[in-house]
Amino acid sequence: MTAETQTTGVPQQRSVPKPEFTDAEAGAKEFPDSNNRHFTYFTPIKRKQSHYEDVTVEVQPDPRHYLSQGWLYGFADGVGGYPLDWTVLKSWGSDRPEPERFPGSGGKGYEWPALGWHEFRDPNEEWELTLYRYNSNVVRQVNQNVENARQLKAFVQWNPNWVNFVARNIGAWMHVDHGLGLYLYANAQRRAPTNMHNNAISVNSMHRIRAAQDLALYNLTLAEEVPGFDGSAHLEAWSSDPAWQGVRETAEQLTAIWDWAEAIFAGNIVFEPLVGELFRSQLVQQIAPRNGDFVTPTVIGAAEYDFAERDLRYTTAMFGLLTTDREFADHNKATMNAWLAKYVPMAISAARKLQPLWSQTDVKPPRFEDSLDAAKSRFAGIVTDLHLEIPKELAQ
């Protein structure tokens, strides 16, 4: 025993921090919304919040609502986050200044929604899970169709003219999907002002990139399975075939658009109905079965469904809000009508240069003018639904 122990009768205590077992104070602390099973920083569109809204709305924050310290990052020119002036279109509240914060303000900005851009909801309710699930299902089905056709030697019945048509023209469209998916849609989604816009447009981008990949893999399969199939013929068609130069020029010009809303408008409202659907629905889907090909329509049809049932759906919802905006409806409609006047002639010119494709196969599709009239009618319906004027250039 030490002298100290003998004197006090108490063992000496080491100076070592004692572990304290708690119930995680931050998680156990009672807050006003501790028992609330829904987020309260936004107002859902319907009576109850959807899973889509829970994982999407204001995931990309906005200093006009919260984010009291301003954007957490910026660009070399001093621009921070997601400026609203990355498009000339406006939604109500866009011109309001960012709220002033001061001691005691709580860091809160305008009430939800801070501005009209936050009102957009993708009717497809796209987010990460839906993207992976949908695309994996499409790829699985396309692969099964092609593999089944390969095993059953379904490509043997193709005649030489049709083999050449697929090698040159179906392959050429792969360049359109790849270019627009990577350089138009993927570029535009980064500059859109809310996460709801970002998700919808990025999924649109993935649809186009996946469609290009589908066509590339299909091209490789045909090169292995079909005698005389030239897997590189699409390169020459895309680079120098006069029939494809209008589409190529238009697609390249679309990828150079800086305004993100203008890019989506030109791509999904103008180019796709007048050129994309003309090629996919009015030509390939019509002509392939008549030439003994029941496989190519399943590959092309997957991309057609992407646009007709999903991408066009979010696009009309997004621009429909802007043409009926309570503050800037007239400004937005005037801007979009100007875009129609600019891009419709380009699309019509590209479409008309595709006309020789309608006469390249042994069994002919419907007349080109009938196909183009069907595409124009479809386009006119989309424009009318958006409360825009049908451009006079459509008569070209």
| pLDDT tens for each residue of 324-373 | 999 999 999 999 999 999 999 999 999 999 999 999 999 888 999 999 99
Angstrom distance (rounded) from CA 40 to CA 301:
42
pLDDT at residue 229 is higher than 80:
yes
The chain-wide mean pLDDT, for the chain, equals 90
Least confident of 13-17, 77-81, 202-206, 311-315: 13-17
Judged against a pLDDT cut of 90, whether residue 16 lies above it is answered with no
Q: What percent of the chain clears pLDDT 90, i.e. is strictly above it?
A: 71
Among 56-60, 67-71, 258-262, the least confident range:
67-71
* pLDDT, position 155: 92
**CB-CB contact of 122 with 199 (8 Å):** yes
> How many CA atoms lie within 13 Å of 254's alpha carbon, on the beta-carbon side?
35
Q: How far apart are CA 361 and CA 303, in angstroms?
A: 23
DSSP 56-115: HTTSS--TTTS-TT--S-B-TTS-BS--GGGSS---TTTTSPPPP--TTSTT--SPSSSS
Q: Which residue has the higher pLDDT, 369 or 1?
A: 369
Domains, the chain, in order of start with CATH, read: 128-395 (1.10.620.20)
The two tokens of residue 116 are 């009209």
pTM to 2 decimal places: 0.89
CB 93 within 8 A of CB 116: yes
Q: How far is CA 240 from CA 39, 237, 245, in A?
A: 56, 6, 7
The CA-based dihedral angle spanning residues 177, 182, 183, 186, taken in that order and rounded to the nearest 10 degrees: 120
Short-list 176, 228, 201, 171, CA closest to 319:
201
Indicate the pLDDT class of residue 79, thresholds 50, 70 and 90. confident
DSSP state of 386: T
Q: Is the pLDDT of residue 19 over 80?
A: no
